[in-house]
């Protein structure tokens, strides 16, 4: 080995030095670097899990928000429908009351008109009776004896007048 330029003592000392260097590097550098890499890997894995959980929580919160919004929309729609029904009911009640009042006013007006017509007819009948009595007195040339006789005469005249179709 001398021809190759290798001395056995130097070779053994270089092998021992190399092995020592490997052991020292393994203890001083390799294990701490592996530990640091393992810790970093764990932190990254934990961050990924946290990100997934945060994403799932955000998605769940979004779904909950959508449910709440939908419930609020339905409730608002129901309130709007109820308000519409209430307004229609109130309008119907107002219309009914107005129609009832109009009907009452019509009935009172009709009753008043009938009463006035009856009063006018009674007044006209009285005036006709008075005129008939006056005309009769002038025709007969004397005054009818009493009120009963006058009324009888007028009743007969009116009965004849109605019977003749005039």
d(C-alpha 149, C-alpha 136), whole Å? 12
Report the pLDDT averaged over residues 106-121. Answer: 91
Q: How far apart are CA 106 and CA 108, in angstroms?
A: 5
Banded pLDDT at 42 (limits 50, 70, 90): very high
Residue 125 domain-assigned (yes or no): yes
Residue 3 lies in a domain: no
Per-residue model confidence (pLDDT) at position 62: 95
The pLDDT, as a whole number, for residue 29 is 86
Q: What is the pLDDT of residue 70?
A: 96
CA 7 vs CA 13, 18, 88, 131: distances in Å: 10, 16, 115, 177
Q: Kindly report the backbone phi and psi dihedral angles of residue 87, in degrees, each rounded to the nearest multiple of 5, phi listed first.
A: -65, -40
Task: Provide the 10 A C-beta neighbour count for residue 46.
Answer: 10
Domain range for 54: 8-163
More confident residue, 6 or 67: 67
Burial class (CB in 10 A: 0-12, 13-18, 19+), 154: buried
Residue 155 has pLDDT above 80, yes or no: no
Would you say residue 48 lies in a domain?
yes
Residue 38 resides in a domain: yes
On whether the CB atoms of residues 153 and 136 are closer than 8 A, the answer is yes
User: Is pLDDT of 149 > 80?
Assistant: no
Residue 44 to residue 2: CA distance in whole angstroms: 55
Residue 2 lies in a domain: no
* CB distance 158 to 125 below 8 Å: yes
Q: What is the largest CA-CA distance in the chain?
A: 195
Task: Look at the pTM and tell me if it is higher than 0.75.
Answer: no
Number of structural domains in the chain: 1
In a domain, 1, yes or no: no
Q: What is the mean pLDDT of residues 106-114?
A: 92
Is residue 81 domain-resident? yes
Q: Is 159 a member of any domain?
A: yes
pLDDT of the residue at 7:
83
């Amino acid at each position: 080995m001398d021809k190759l330029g290798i001395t056995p003592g130097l070779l053994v000392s270089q092998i021992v030095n190399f092995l020592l260097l490997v052991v020292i590097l393994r203890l001083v550098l390799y294990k701490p670097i592996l530990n640091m890499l393992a810790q970093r890997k764990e932190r990254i894995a934990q961050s990924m899990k946290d990100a997934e959980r945060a994403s799932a929580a955000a998605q769940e919160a979004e779904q909950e928000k959508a449910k709440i919004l939908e419930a609020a929309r339905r409730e608002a729609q129901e309130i709007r429908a109820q308000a519409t029904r209430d307004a229609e009911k109130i309008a119907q009640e107002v219309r009914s009351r107005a129609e009832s009042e109009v009907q009452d006013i019509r009935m009172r007006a009709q009753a008043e008109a009938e009463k006035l017509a009856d009063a006018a007819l009674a007044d006209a009948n009285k005036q006709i009776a008075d005129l008939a009595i006056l005309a009769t007195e002038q025709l007969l040339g004397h005054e009818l004896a009493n009120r009963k006789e006058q009324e009888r005469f007028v009743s007969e005249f009116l009965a004849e007048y109605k019977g003749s179709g005039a």
